[in-house]
């Protein structure tokens, strides 16, 4: 299989987006108005990369081999005992990610052609987007930690560039900076974990590390626990989990397709991918598993609670993304790697659909407000309502995604979410903490159904609050934008078949497909099996929870009582606390940012730099020299007699010393 041309040509998957970045980047600098060429290059390279990814996937499926194909291109960092090659790894896990990134990425690129058509930075936008895909593919294809880290940092850079894409507004540039800086904290964890891995195993190659780990690292020992916890710190940054979740809501300042691609479908799931990749290490560290699952479950509930009171349509989806990422971590922390990956894939489908649908809504709202020169918020749900008449395709497709994320069978989200919850429940028989995590997950499922129904009701139903003049300008987006929505809608409906449980007549295909990657971990933690009756009960319970959430939202919420954002009274009480995400930003500001700023200005700048470095060291050295010079110059009286006297005394002294 290693010689299969489809596998050896996998470098093309990387080269194509890179070429797209270089060409579009050149066009952005030289001929930014050539939008047709930019679209052809930008979308073309992605489609071609998708084709190569499909070919690689097919070759791997034909090969039926458990061994990953490792393609080494050149020696990158040969330093002493450390040997790092630039090498790519094609195996079951990376091909799944490859397909998601290039597949969903292609659809979002197509959508962007319509969404960004009138933007003056069109070529720059596609250059960044292609660069992002390039780095994301390095991340998923890297065969060792450093190569993966290059992709890990690269996607962070592209995230920064695209969040601050409209950088002439201060709030956007600040949001980009925030994302970048918060991610640095996580990246430090990743780096420390890499040092520890090298220290304990002497290698950074995935295959070597994971095959040696069970022999070299004591199960549950401090080394493997520290490694996995530091890796997870990296994940909390990249995947916006507690405590580093604050950057993702602000990241919504970027263009909406960017939110769909980077901050929903691909980049933020890199943390989940990392945990699945290192499944052997996590299987050796039960404490870390508890932390991963616990943080995941807590984040899921926390973000879902906040999402129930947001007015910005994209912010609801951002918190929803954080919440769903929490589910994935609950899954992989439980040891159900396939379930976590399954949710990653289905989430990529339905969340990309939701974000692109929101993009379509914002596009329509923006045009309506632009036509009447109104300066209203095009993303505030209080300014929407009744859009179903104007955007029927978007409304129906978003309802499909809403039902999927809420967990209504037989849509994709139902299967993946249920599998994670079932795995958590099963683990509860070993460790009671998991019953708690399961409870958090169920509560999150209820809230998810609630806030998503709320979003749909406020956006598409009830009376329209956009304004009488604006209403005439509301219309469905062009086909280049609704087309990708339809494809994602189909995937959202059918995606559950990837890993449908045997209970419902499915073949758990994804589970078998990922088996070579997760086998070692599964051997350490055999999956607990639930009795079919219990499994049925859980399934029915999940469906009931979803239905309850939707029903509660329908009965409690009154879309017709809403008023447009400019007329709405300010929020009070709990709603205000939730709108401000429990003042998390303010708490971090007071507890971390301000003390650091104070320490930097008052101590490090005014004392250490001004007084010690500048004062004592730099000016002190000058002063010392000058004083010594002044003292020496006192000897130079200009009086020859004195010189002669000193000279004679010196000669006498030398003679005395010489004759003694």
Partner 1 sequence: MTLLGPALAVSAVLFALGVAGVVIRRNVIVIFMCVELMLNAVNLTFIALAQRLGIQGHVFVFFVMAVAAAEAAVGLAIILAVFRHRETVDLKDITLLKG
Helices (H), 557-611: 573-579, 584-588, 594-598
Site for partner 1 in 72-91 (CB under 8 A): none
Contact status, residue 267 vs residue 159, Cβ threshold 8 Å? yes
Encoded tokens for 271: 């943390």
Cβ of residue 635: shortest distance to partner 1, in angstroms? 7
The distance of Cα 308 from the centroid of its chain, to the nearest Å, equals: 22
Cβ of residue 641: shortest distance to partner 1, in angstroms? 6
Asked if omega into 2 is within 30° of 0 (cis), the reply is: no
CA distances from 396 to 350, 354, 446 (A): 13, 11, 22
36 binds partner 1 (CB under 8 A): no
Residue in 526, 570, 573, 641 binding partner 1, rule: CB under 8 A: 641
Cβ of residue 634: shortest distance to partner 1, in angstroms? 7
Q: Which stretch binds partner 1 (CB under 8 A): 51-59, 450-458, 559-567, 641-649?
A: 641-649
How far apart, in whole angstroms, are the C-alpha atoms of residue 563 and residue 281? 53
DSSP state of 79: E
Encoded tokens for 308: 């129930």
Q: Which of 451, 100, 67 is nearest to 268 (CA)?
A: 100
Q: Which helix (H) or strand (E) holds 83?
A: strand 82-90
Encoded tokens for 380: 């505030």
Cβ of residue 660: shortest distance to partner 1, in angstroms? 19
Query: Taking every pair of C-alpha atoms in the chain, what is the biggest distance, in angstroms?
Result: 118
Contact status, residue 177 vs residue 160, Cβ threshold 8 Å? yes
Residue in 591, 644, 653, 654 binding partner 1, rule: CB under 8 A: 644
Q: Name residues whose C-beta falls within 8 Å of residue 303's C-beta, 6 or more positions apart in sequence.
A: 245, 319, 320, 322, 323, 326
Cβ of residue 626: shortest distance to partner 1, in angstroms? 13
Encoded tokens for 66: 């458990």
Q: Which is nearer to partner 1, 635 or 657 (CB)?
A: 635
Cβ of residue 593: shortest distance to partner 1, in angstroms? 55
Where do we find the tokens 């099996």?
A: 529
Residue in 640, 657, 658, 660 binding partner 1, rule: CB under 8 A: 640
Per-residue burial over 561-597, b = 16 or more CB atoms within 10 Å of its CB, e = otherwise: ebebbeeeeeeeeeeeebbebeebeeeeeeeeeeeee
* Helix (DSSP H) and strand (DSSP E) numbers for the chain: 29, 2
How far apart, in whole angstroms, are the C-alpha atoms of residue 385 and residue 578? 22
Cβ of residue 657: shortest distance to partner 1, in angstroms? 19
Cβ of residue 173: shortest distance to partner 1, in angstroms? 58
Q: Which is nearer to partner 1, 556 or 642 (CB)?
A: 642
645 binds partner 1 (CB under 8 A): yes
Q: Which is nearer to partner 1, 594 or 626 (CB)?
A: 626
Binding mask 605-634 for partner 1 (x = CB under 8 A): ---------------------------xxx
**Phi, psi dihedrals of residue 69, rounded to the nearest 5°:** -85, 120
CB atoms near residue 396 (< 10 Å): 15
Residue in 637, 650, 654, 655 binding partner 1, rule: CB under 8 A: 637
Cβ of residue 659: shortest distance to partner 1, in angstroms? 14
CB atoms near residue 267 (< 10 Å): 27
The distance of Cα 164 from the centroid of its chain, to the nearest Å, equals: 16
Q: Name residues whose C-beta falls within 8 Å of residue 58's C-beta, 6 or more positions apart in sequence.
A: 6
Q: Which is nearer to partner 1, 587 or 624 (CB)?
A: 624
Q: How many CA atoms lie within 13 A of 54 on its CB side?
A: 9
Q: Which helix (H) or strand (E) holds 82?
A: strand 82-90
Residue in 3, 168, 555, 639 binding partner 1, rule: CB under 8 A: 639
Cβ of residue 636: shortest distance to partner 1, in angstroms? 3
Q: Which is nearer to partner 1, 569 or 629 (CB)?
A: 629
Residue in 36, 168, 555, 636 binding partner 1, rule: CB under 8 A: 636
Cβ of residue 631: shortest distance to partner 1, in angstroms? 10
How far apart, in whole angstroms, are the C-alpha atoms of residue 451 and residue 441? 15
Cβ of residue 637: shortest distance to partner 1, in angstroms? 5
Q: Which is nearer to partner 1, 432 or 631 (CB)?
A: 631
Encoded tokens for 369: 């407000």
Using DSSP's 3-state secondary structure scheme, residue 204 falls into: coil
Cβ of residue 642: shortest distance to partner 1, in angstroms? 9
Cβ of residue 625: shortest distance to partner 1, in angstroms? 15
Encoded tokens for 426: 């099963």
Cβ of residue 650: shortest distance to partner 1, in angstroms? 13
654 binds partner 1 (CB under 8 A): no
Q: Which helix (H) or strand (E) holds 75?
A: strand 69-79
Binding mask 304-323 for partner 1 (x = CB under 8 A): --------------------
Cβ of residue 630: shortest distance to partner 1, in angstroms? 8
Q: At what angle do helices 433-460 and 313-334 cross, to 10 degrees?
A: 160
Q: Which is nearer to partner 1, 36 or 656 (CB)?
A: 656
> End-to-end CA distance of the chain, in Å?
94
Contact status, residue 192 vs residue 186, Cβ threshold 8 Å? no
Encoded tokens for 653: 């002294």
Q: Name residues whose C-beta falls within 8 Å of residue 590's C-beta, 6 or more positions apart in sequence.
A: none
CB atoms near residue 612 (< 10 Å): 13
648 binds partner 1 (CB under 8 A): yes
* 386 backbone φψ class: left, alpha, beta (φ>0; ψ -120 to 50): left
Q: Which is nearer to partner 1, 592 or 624 (CB)?
A: 624
Site for partner 1 in 104-163 (CB under 8 A): none
Size of the site for partner 1 (CB under 8 A): 13
Residue in 533, 635, 657, 658 binding partner 1, rule: CB under 8 A: 635
Interacting residues toward partner 1 by CB under 8 A: 632-641, 644-645, 648
């Amino acid at each position: 299989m290693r010689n299969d041309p489809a596998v050896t040509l996998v470098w093309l998957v990387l080269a194509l987006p890179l070429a797209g970045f270089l060409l579009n980047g050149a066009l952005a600098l030289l001929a930014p108005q050539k939008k047709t060429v930019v679209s052809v290059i930008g979308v073309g390279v992605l489609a071609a990369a998708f084709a190569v990814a499909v070919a690689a996937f097919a070759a791997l499926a034909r090969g039926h081999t458990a061994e990953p194909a490792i393609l080494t291109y050149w020696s990158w960092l040969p330093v002493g005992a450390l040997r790092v090659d630039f090498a790519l790894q094609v195996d079951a896990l990376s091909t799944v990610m490859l397909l998601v990134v290039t597949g969903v990425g292609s659809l979002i690129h197509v959508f962007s052609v319509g969404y960004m058509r009138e933007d003056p930075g069109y070529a720059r936008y596609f250059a960044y987007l292609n660069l992002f895909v390039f780095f994301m593919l390095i991340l998923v294809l890297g065969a060792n930690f450093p190569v993966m880290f290059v992709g890990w940092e690269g996607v962070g850079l592209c995230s920064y560039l695209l969040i601050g894409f409209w950088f002439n507004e201060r709030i956007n540039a600040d949001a980009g900076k925030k994302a970048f800086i918060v991610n640095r904290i996580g990246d430090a964890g990743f780096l420390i974990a890499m040092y520890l891995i090298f220290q304990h195993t002497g290698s950074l190659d995935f295959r070597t590390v994971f095959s040696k780990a069970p022999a070299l690292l004591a199960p549950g020992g401090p080394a493997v626990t520290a490694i996995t916890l530091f890796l997870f710190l990296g994940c909390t940054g990249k995947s916006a989990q507690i405590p580093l979740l604050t950057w993702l809501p602000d990241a919504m300042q970027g263009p909406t397709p960017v939110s769909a691609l980077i901050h929903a479908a691909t980049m933020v799931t890199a943390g989940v991918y990392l945990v699945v990749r290192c499944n052997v290490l996590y299987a050796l560290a039960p404490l870390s598993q508890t932390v991963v699952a616990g943080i995941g479950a807590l984040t899921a509930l926390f973000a879902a609670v906040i999402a129930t009171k947001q007015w910005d349509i994209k912010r609801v989806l951002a918190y929803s993304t954080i919440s769903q990422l929490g589910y994935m971590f609950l899954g992989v922390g439980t040891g159900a790697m396939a379930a976590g990956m399954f949710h990653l894939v289905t989430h990529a489908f339905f969340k990309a659909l939701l974000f692109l649908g929101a993009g379509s809504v914002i596009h329509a709202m923006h045009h309506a407000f632009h036509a009447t020169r109104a300066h209203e918020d095009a993303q505030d749900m209080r300014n929407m309502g009744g859009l179903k008449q104007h955007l029927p395709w978007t409304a129906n497709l978003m309802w499909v995604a809403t039902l999927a994320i809420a967990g209504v069978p037989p849509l994709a989200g139902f299967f993946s979410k249920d599998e994670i919850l079932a795995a958590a429940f099963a683990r509860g028989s070993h460790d009671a903490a998991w019953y708690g995590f399961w409870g958090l997950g169920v509560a999150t499922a209820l809230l998810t159904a609630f806030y998503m129904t709320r979003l749909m009701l406020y956006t598409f139903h009830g009376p329209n609050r956009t304004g009488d003049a604006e209403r005439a300008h509301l219309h469905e987006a062009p086909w280049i934008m609704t087309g990708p929505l339809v494809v994602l809608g189909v995937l959202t409906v059918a995606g559950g078949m990837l890993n449908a449980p045997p209970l419902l007549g499915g073949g758990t295909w994804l589970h078998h497909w990922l088996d070579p990657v997760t086998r070692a971990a599964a051997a350490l933690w055999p999956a607990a099996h639930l009795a079919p009756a219990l499994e049925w009960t859980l399934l029915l319970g999940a469906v009931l929870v979803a239905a309850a959430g939707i029903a509660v939202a329908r009965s409690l919420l009154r879309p017709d009582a809403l008023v447009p954002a400019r007329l709405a009274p300010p929020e009070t009480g709990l709603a205000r606390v939730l709108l401000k995400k429990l003042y998390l930003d303010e708490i971090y500001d007071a507890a971390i940012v301000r003390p650091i700023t104070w320490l930097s200005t008052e101590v490090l700048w005014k004392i250490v730099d001004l007084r010690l470095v500048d004062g004592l060291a730099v000016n002190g050295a000058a002063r010392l020299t000058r004083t010594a010079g002044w003292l020496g110059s006192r000897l130079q009286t200009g009086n020859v007699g004195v010189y002669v006297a000193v000279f004679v005394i010196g000669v006498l002294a030398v003679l005395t010393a010489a004759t003694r």
